[in-house]
A and B are shown apart, each in its own frame.
Chain A
């Protein structure tokens, strides 16, 4: 799993790649948690993620609950979208096809 971040228009964009599962969840939780706590709007770019499990999904929903208006998820590939649908979290999260759309939506 890889994780890098950059700021676009005042929005912190976290890019995850690889598998987001239990073995990676503590690192992901720390990174997403720190970004949300920092106060700026946050977009998590899942473009490089090919698999996400319940632990990864739990982190995204927790982040959304903490900052419902300032958190979005972008670029989920089909397998990731399907996992979000199965856990019914696609109804909770703000999902966007591209990072640009997500940044536009959260930067207020």
Chain B
């Protein structure tokens, strides 16, 4: 008899270990719960695991068979056990002094037989099976205890592997983040897109978006991933009417979803929108979205989301700091340009007038707003390289463009700014300085500023030549069309010059 019991126990060990040795973590746990069901005959089976340092055990996996007829279509448990065909037990249970003893416990899904999982002296959790009465038959208790013994070792091993797998995945994500960030420093939108992609894949979400709060206090989408085409159009993010409501800082400065209908219409199953705050000031929203059923976040995913959101917040803060630095730096260069203009009476107001003319031509040519702004910025400081030149040597004309370019090319400005400064002494026919570029090889900003500089100098005159009238300037520009200047730029200039205020005393 004893021998037979021993053999049975050994067989059970073999059975449990064999069914639970292959497959994913979830599949292995499902196999264990299936064995528990076969042995005890109880339809509702749940694996709870103890967390280090916690006074609770959490529901790791559930299998609930609604009744014998649907047993074949058993609802396989999911982590945490929600999609079950029966009452759902609590996601967590308190740990007690009796946890090492097999006993009946009350749960939200009714009384269940709790059998401890022990590895040596170490309590790692419990197998719960039910429903049961207060008096559980001895055979059922025994069957559960027999399964629990090998199950403890299998669960313990599987869990360690799972923790290692998650740690590895986490490490890989961090390494990947670090490696990829080097290539996109300070490009804010590229950076947040990257963070969003990584957060989406690390948490297994379907989609996500990042909105950044603009100067007007309204968040706008700066990055999105995996969203359906019809998600973004018409998405209202305004604080007073939009889908999110910002709780005031006095209330903790939180972010609330206000317009359920808007997200339901967009096919959203679940959304977790994390507010990004700089002190008490909202600076953005980092949101992950699930469009299909079953999408939800566990603690590890939420930790990852928190880490990515924090990275995005830091980056937004840094970008704003850097913008302020760039503004301050450009302000210094504008001051230097003003000081250079003041050195001689005939150059007073040179930079502001060149800027007015160049900007008007850029607009007249139909350039996009960002390029117009780039031309304006380049014109404002185009001659600051003169500050580095000694005397009036011919080399000044050659080198000052390079010096000025070197003062701005390291800044994250529009890519048209530095080339415009570098080429404003090139000629359309290739006879200019410093590189003899010709035609459209000269960037449009350089072609525009080159003309604006000459027009400004002719209007101002110098000790050897009287100032030209506007008519004379226009005639001179037209004479040089095709040689020094791009004819299209000349045409635009002749259209805009008569309407401009070209008084050096006018403040911009």
Contacts and interface: CB of A to CB of B under 8 A. Distances in A.
Interface of A: 2, 15, 17-19, 21-23, 25-26, 29, 47-51, 53-55, 57-58, 61-62, 77-79, 82-83, 85-89, 91-92
Given A55-B260, A62-B256, A78-B58, A86 B90 contact: no
Interface of B: 51, 54, 56, 58-59, 80, 82, 87-92, 108, 245, 247, 251-258, 260, 263-264, 268-275, 277, 287, 290, 293, 296-299, 302-303, 305-306, 309
Given A53-B272, A77-B58, 16 more contacts: A18-B82, A19-B270, A21-B271, A22-B260, A48-B90, A50-B91, A53-B271, A58-B257, A58-B258, A77-B92, A78-B54, A83-B272, A86-B305, A87-B274, A87-B275, A88-B277
Q: How would you classify the secondary structure of chain B's contact residues: helix, strand, loop or mixed?
A: mixed
A88 B297 CA distance: 17
A58 to B, nearest CB: 4
B91 A48 contact: yes
11 contacts: A21-B269, A21-B290, A47-B90, A51-B298, A53-B271, A54-B256, A54-B271, A61-B254, A86-B306, A86-B309, A91-B251
Given A82-B306, A83-B297, A87-B254, A92 B269 contact: no
Contact of A88 (B255, B270, B299, B303): B255
Contacts of B260: 22, 25-26, 29, 55, 58
A66 B268 CA distance: 27
A23 B293 contact: yes
Most buried by A among B90, B268, B309: B90
Contacts of B51: 78
B299 A82 contact: yes
A49 B252 CA distance: 24
Contact of B298 (A2, A54, A79): A79
Contacts of A53: 257, 270-272, 296
Contacts of A15: 108
Contacts of B277: 88
Nearest to B297: A51
Nearest to A98: B94
A23 B302 contact: no
A22 B270 contact: yes
